[in-house]
Structure 1
Amino acid sequence: MANKSVYDFSAETLEGQLVPLSKYRGMMLLIVNYHRLNALMEMFGDLSFTVLGFSCNQFGLQSPEVNHETLNILKYARPGGGFVPKFPVFSKVEVNGLNEEPLFTYLKESLTFVNPVIGDIKKFYWSPIKVNDIRWNFEKFLITADGLPFKRYELHCPIEKVEKDIAELL
């Protein structure tokens, strides 16, 4: 994947519109499922940084909704409490397996696994399972303003570590 960047990929919005990620050229990006990310937008959103949120149903079938239901699910159920994302949320994708989105193939090849423990494969809904697969929702990929993958964070990485890395790169 030499000479590639995230700007070579596109993502579909919840409304079905294809958005070239080159739209975010010059911005640092955090590519992730979305819990606890509004705080990062409040901290860094005015500093050439944004979060790009993606839903995925491959982990314990936790996101069975269709795209047009996603914002209501976020607001009323997961995480609920009136949550409204302050960042773009794209359509549901597969991040692992035969039908994985090319963007996530690129990210996983660029930044290999962060935890050698794959987990309970009975809760995984894809095939084949590979060593660099995303292990669970909310694994994060930090992208430089040049569109290059910088760091991969596992699910339980403290958000303060992500904040520190973003601040250092800005």
Structure 2
Amino acid sequence: MEMFGQLNFTVLGFTCNQFGLQSPEVNHETLNILKYVRPGGGFVPKFPVFGKVEVNGLNEEPLFTYLKESLPFVNPVIGDIKKFYWSPIKVNDIRWNFEKFLITADGRPFKRYELHCPVEIVEKDIAGLV
């Protein structure tokens, strides 16, 4: 993100506890968890981190419904259902924490990135948009 700091670009972070119940903290604890636990080491995000949301299931935030409908998976694979904590499970659901969506400056969903997508691919796509 720092490499794009001078441009009209920002990262938005949303916490969610629907993946392996890995984020059980309440909203006011989130920044301390990031700083001291995960990732820890004094990490302080340089971008807005919003309160906890649901990104899948009956109570998912409309923003994520829109993003998933706009950018469906090309080759959808459902992972380990035992670690999913929502219902109903749909083929285009977000599969794990740190999945990313790139949105253009005019608000159009541009590309969706899975958890293990190399950051260089995301950076190249961002550079191509700005």
Q: TM-score, normalised by structure 1?
A: 0.75
Name the structure, 1 or 2, with higher relative contact order (CA <8 Å, separation 6+).
Answer: 1
Please say if residues 115 and 154 of structure 1, whose CA atoms lie closer than 8 Å, have aligned partners that are also in contact. no
What's the offset of the Cα at 1:116? 1.8
Alpha-carbon distance change, 57 to 114 in structure 1, aligned in 2, over 3 angstroms: farther
Any gaps of 5 or more consecutive residues in structure 2?
none
Change (3 A) 1:137 1:50: same
CA shift at 1:45, angstroms?
A: 1.9
Residue 118 of structure 1: CA displacement?
A: 1.1
Q: Residue deviations 1:34-76, cap 9 Å, x none? A: xxxxxxx211021000000000000000000000000000000
- What's 1:66 paired with? 26
Q: 1:23 maps to which residue?
A: none
State the distance in 1 between where 2:4 and 2:39 align: 22
Q: Deviations over 1:54-105 (max 9, x none)?
A: 0000000000000000000000001101000000000000000000000000
Q: Number of aligned residue pairs: give it.
A: 130
Deviations 1:94-142, CA, capped at 9 Å, x for gaps: 0000000000000000000255211000000000000010000000000
Q: Where is the strand percentage greater, Structure 1 or Structure 2?
A: 1
* Identity in percent: 92
Q: Normalising to structure 2: TM-score of the pair?
A: 0.98
Q: Do the aligned residues in 2 keep the contact of 1:59 with 1:137 (CA within 8 Å)?
A: yes
What secondary structure sits across from 1:141 in the alignment?
Answer: strand
RMSD, matched Cα? 0.8
